[in-house]
Amino acid sequence: MVHVSFTDPRSALDGSQLTTLLAASVVGVYLLVVVGATAALAEAARVCAGWPGCAGADLSSPAVLVALGHRAAASLVGVLVLVTAVVALRSDAERRVLAALLGALVLFPVQVSVGAFVATGGAGGLVSDGHLLVGMGIFAALVLALAWRLEAETGSDDEAAVRDPDTLEPPEPVDTDTPSPTPDLSGLARVRAVAGAYVQLMKPRLMWLLCLVASAGMALAATTSDELTLGVVVATLGGGVLAIGASGTYNHALERDIDRRMERTADRPVATHEVPVRNAFAFGGLLTVAALGAFLTVNLLAAALGLAAIVFYSVIYTLVLKPNTVQNTVIGGAAGALPALIGWAAVTGEVGLPGLALAGVIFLWTPAHFYNLALAYRDDYERGGFPMLPVVRGETVTRKHILLYLAATLLAATVLAELTTLGWLYAATTVLLGAVFLVAVVRLHYERTEGAAFRAFHASNAYLGALLLAIVLDALVV
Residue 432 to residues 268, 356, 426, Cα–Cα distance (Å)? 37, 24, 10
Residues 47 and 128 in one domain: yes
Nearest to 426 by CA among 194, 214, 216, 124: 216
What is the number of structural domains in the chain?
2
Decide: 326 and 401 in contact? Cβ < 8 Å. Answer: no
Domain's final residue, options 154, 176, 206: 154
| Extended beta strands in 411-478, E state | none
Query: What was the pLDDT predicted at 276?
Result: 92
pLDDT digits (tens, 9 = 90+) for 44-53: 666 666 666 6
Instruction: List, as own/partner pairs, every contact residues 155-158 make where C-beta atoms lie below 8 angstroms and the sequence separation is at least 24, other chains included.
Output: 155/396, 156/2, 156/4, 156/395, 156/396, 156/448, 157/394, 157/395, 157/396, 157/397
Residues 37 and 119 in one domain: yes
Residue 3 lies in a domain: no
Residues 229 and 377 in one domain: yes
Query: What was the pLDDT predicted at 428?
Result: 92
Decide: 93 and 85 in contact? Cβ < 8 Å. Answer: no
Residues 87 and 211 in one domain: no
Residues 218 and 149 in one domain: no
CA distance 318 to 321: 6
Residue 184 lies in a domain: no
Residue 167 lies in a domain: no
Average pLDDT over residues 137-141: 95
Residue 327 lies in a domain: yes
Q: What is the DSSP string of 111-172?
A: HHHHHHHHHTT---HHHHHHHHHHHHHHHHHHHHHHHHHHHHHH----GGGS--GGGSPPPP
Query: What was the pLDDT predicted at 410?
Result: 97
CA distance 75 to 218: 38
Q: Rounded to an integer, what is the distance from CA 249 to the centroid of its chain? A: 24
Respond yes or no on whether the N-terminal peptide bond of residue 52 is cis (omega within 30° of 0).
yes
Domain's final residue, options 109, 131, 154: 154
Residues 111 and 224 in one domain: no
Element housing 271 (H / E): none
Decide: 452 and 443 in contact? Cβ < 8 Å. Answer: yes
Average pLDDT over residues 390-394: 93
Residues 206 and 97 in one domain: no
Residues 150 and 195 in one domain: no
Residue 227 lies in a domain: yes
CA distance 415 to 427: 12
Query: What was the pLDDT predicted at 39?
Result: 59
CATH of the domain at 409: 1.10.357.140
Residue 261 lies in a domain: yes
Q: Which domain holds residue 335?
A: 191-476
Residue 455 lies in a domain: yes
Is the pTM higher than 0.85? The answer reads yes
CA distance 296 to 63: 45
Residues 437 and 303 in one domain: yes
Residue 255 lies in a domain: yes
Residues 112 and 240 in one domain: no
Contacts of 412 (CB under 8 A, 6+ apart): 357, 360, 361, 364
Average pLDDT over residues 334-360: 95
Residues 83 and 138 in one domain: yes
The mean of the pLDDT values for the chain is 86
Query: What was the pLDDT predicted at 47?
Result: 62
Query: What was the pLDDT predicted at 1?
Result: 47
Query: What was the pLDDT predicted at 162?
Result: 62
Residues 322 and 432 in one domain: yes
Decide: 104 and 81 in contact? Cβ < 8 Å. Answer: yes
Q: Give the DSSP letter of residue 4.
A: -
Domain's final residue, options 154, 171, 201: 154
Contacts of 410 (CB under 8 A, 6+ apart): 30, 139, 430, 434
